[in-house]
């Protein structure tokens, strides 16, 4: 597996990481714990060194899962987790609201450290921008945790350009985790140029469009009531029917290259900048191996130009989130 450095931070990770949310949260019922531990260790065996979780995934159970699975190989891996929500028994994303007060951050880091079975968190993201707390206060709190040896690097998730710049002035931001894929390209407008200017790495989440870009679903696919995609405007049957044009484009290029749509989608992302490290999620070994194959898929300049131009011509149907969730982002 190739390695990449996230901006100027010096934090080296595998070119493709593993997003672990779906093992415990959001995509239907939690998966079998022993099977997920085996999958996480299989990822390490295949060269993955970058694992992404958050206290809200479960809540708490995903961090605990990673803690058990990765404890034997802790020195070989980079673990990223996130703070920033009030957590209650209601596990809907953000149901209890955001909370990035400095005293809250300093309290919840202890639980994350305990669940992850580690003395230090490699990358600690603010999960969502808190409009009630100046980002300078958030960055200052994480700076204190870094000084205390409990955190190595500071990250932001779903933050806008002004927020990133203000935070970075207080404590250098190692990485930004925002959504980015062939069917969500808003970061190209001002986020990617800003990250390049400041030397911040980019960790795209949902790089396969929450599974849609794999080609594994169409308008006839039934989503379970506890699959959060069933609440997303972009995943209505009508939207999926219209958005199949993106998958057809990927499939056409994949067929010519002897690859899969997912591999082409990930290879396209990897080709955008050398400091981009996507974190596709999966709960299946064959999908993990398929995704990792993207790291060795070479897209020529002609392939990239053709893919980008063709994608530019496709109008994506449906908002990515309902309005109340989109408001929680800093974009």
Judge contact between 304 and 257, C-beta under 8 A: no
Strand ranges inside the chain, DSSP E: 3-5, 12-14, 18-19, 50-52, 78-83, 121-126, 151-157, 173-177, 201-202
CA–CA distance, 324 with 94 (Å, rounded to integer): 10
Judge contact between 178 and 205, C-beta under 8 A: yes
Judge contact between 197 and 269, C-beta under 8 A: no
* Composition of the chain by helix, strand, coil, percent to 5: 45, 15, 40
CA–CA distance, 102 with 144 (Å, rounded to integer): 10
* Residues known to be catalytic: 57
Judge contact between 264 and 297, C-beta under 8 A: yes
**Nearest one of 185, 231, 204 to 93, comparing CA atoms:** 231
Here the tokens at position 192 are 């990617």
Q: Are strands 50-52 and 78-83 parallel, antiparallel or unpaired?
A: parallel
**Nearest one of 211, 217, 202 to 281, comparing CA atoms:** 211
Judge contact between 118 and 74, C-beta under 8 A: yes
**Sheet of 121-126, strand order:** 18-19, 50-52, 78-83, 121-126, 151-157, 173-177, 201-202
Angle between helices 61-70 and 102-116 (to 10 degrees): 40
181-324-208 Cα angle (round to 5): 15
């Amino acid at each position: 597996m190739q390695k990449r450095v996230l901006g100027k931070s010096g934090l080296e990770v595998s070119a493709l990481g593993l997003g672990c949310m779906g093992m415990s949260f959001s995509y239907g019922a939690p998966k079998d714990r022993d099977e997920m531990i085996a999958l996480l260790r299989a990822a390490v065996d295949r060269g993955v060194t970058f694992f992404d979780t958050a206290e809200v995934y479960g809540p708490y159970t995903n961090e605990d899962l990673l803690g058990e699975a990765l404890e034997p190989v802790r020195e070989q891996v980079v673990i990223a987790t996130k703070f920033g929500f009030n957590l209650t028994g209601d596990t809907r994303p953000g149901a209890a609201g955001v909370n990035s007060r400095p005293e809250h951050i300093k309290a919840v880091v202890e639980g994350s450290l305990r669940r992850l079975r580690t003395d230090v968190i490699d990358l600690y993201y603010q999960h969502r921008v808190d409009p009630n707390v100046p980002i300078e206060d958030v960055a200052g709190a994480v700076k204190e945790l870094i000084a205390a040896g409990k955190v190595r690097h500071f990250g932001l998730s779903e933050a806008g350009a002004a927020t990133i710049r203000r935070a970075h002035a207080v404590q250098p931001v190692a990485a930004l985790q925002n959504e980015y894929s062939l069917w969500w390209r808003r970061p190209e407008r001002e986020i990617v140029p800003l990250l390049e200017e400041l030397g911040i790495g980019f960790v795209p989440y949902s790089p396969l469009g929450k599974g849609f870009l794999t080609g594994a679903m169409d308008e006839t696919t039934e989503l379970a009531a506890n699959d959060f995609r069933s609440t997303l405007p972009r995943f209505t049957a009508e939207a999926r029917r219209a958005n199949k044009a993106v998958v057809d484009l990927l499939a056409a290029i994949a067929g010519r290259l002897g690859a899969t749509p997912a591999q082409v989608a990930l290879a396209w992302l990897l080709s955008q900048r050398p400091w981009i490290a996507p974190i596709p999620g999966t709960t299946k070994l064959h999908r993990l191996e398929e995704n990792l194959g993207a790291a060795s898929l070479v897209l020529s300049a002609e392939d990239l130009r053709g893919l980008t131009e063709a994608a530019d011509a496709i109008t994506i149907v449906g908002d990515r989130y309902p309005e109340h969730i989109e408001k929680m982002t800093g974009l």
